[in-house]
Amino acid sequence: MLKSLQIEPEKCTGCLQCEVACSYQATSLFNPSISRIKIFTFHEEGRFVPYTCTQCNEAWCLHACPVEAIVVNEATGAKEVIDDICVGCKVCTIACPFGTVNYSQNTGTVYKCDLCGGDPECAKACPTQAITYVDSDHGGLERMRAHAEQNLPQDAQ
């Protein structure tokens, strides 16, 4: 069974340990600004939202790539960037409607979450289980249903 990152923003304290762990795993640097997972801060609501690639089935990034530099890791389901093949054209960065593929001017290539090959550091670093690595269909249907119902017009409910 494929696993995926489950993110529960209500549990996030904004400690940024995920960003530190991610950047170190991916680049050997402690540099949250190049982390593949990002924590967005909502001061007014007093909330933090961890956010990264969901490894979506549509894989807009992969289909938009003109040189086959983004491939599916069959073991993890992650869409991975092959640095040696990426030419840095950035088409994937505008094609991904979730905004989770970014370009690095330092490397001249794009980068995104690759689930650390199946052992994501962000989930291990998170002290409050706001980020967990779980079976892909765990709770997903209920969450989607709840969200869909919320968006129905009032008289349709």
Partner 1 sequence: MKHVIVGAGPAGVIAAETLRNIDRRSEVVLIGDEPEPPYSRMALPYYLIEKIDESGTYLRKEATHYSHKNIDIIRDRVRELDPQAKTLRLENDAPINYDKLLIATGSHPVSPPIAGMDLPGIHPCWTLEDGRNIVQRAKPGAHVVLMGAGFIGCIILEALALRKVNLTVIEMEDRMVPRMMDQTAGTMIKDWCLHKGVAVHTSTRVEAIEQGAGETLKVKLSNGNELDADLLISATGVATNIDFLAGSGLATDAGVLVNDRLQSNDPDIYAAGDVCQGKDFSTGDYTVQAIQPTAADHGRIAAMNMAGKETVHQGCVNMNVLDTMGLISSSYGLWMGSDGGESAMLCDSNRFRYLNLQFEDDVLVGAQALGMTQHVGVLRGLIQTRLKLGKWKDHLLQDPTRIMEAYLANTQAIGHNAGVI
- Summarize as ranges the residues that interact with partner 1 (CB under 8 A): 8-10, 38, 40, 42, 45, 47, 49, 51, 60, 63-64, 66-68, 85, 87-105, 108, 143, 146-147, 149-150
CB 79 within 8 A of CB 59: yes
What residue spans of the chain are helical by DSSP H? 17-27, 60-64, 91-95, 121-125, 140-150
Instruction: Please work out, in degrees rounded to the nearest 5, the angle formed at the alpha carbon of residue 15 by the alpha carbons of 135 and 42.
Output: 90
Instruction: Please work out, in degrees rounded to the nearest 5, the angle formed at the alpha carbon of residue 8 by the alpha carbons of 2 and 53.
Output: 50
Nearer to partner 1, 15 or 71 (CB): 71
Nearer to partner 1, 142 or 155 (CB): 142
| Closest distance to partner 1 from the beta carbon of 67 (Å) | 5
| Closest distance to partner 1 from the beta carbon of 99 (Å) | 3
| Closest distance to partner 1 from the beta carbon of 44 (Å) | 8
Nearer to partner 1, 90 or 124 (CB): 90
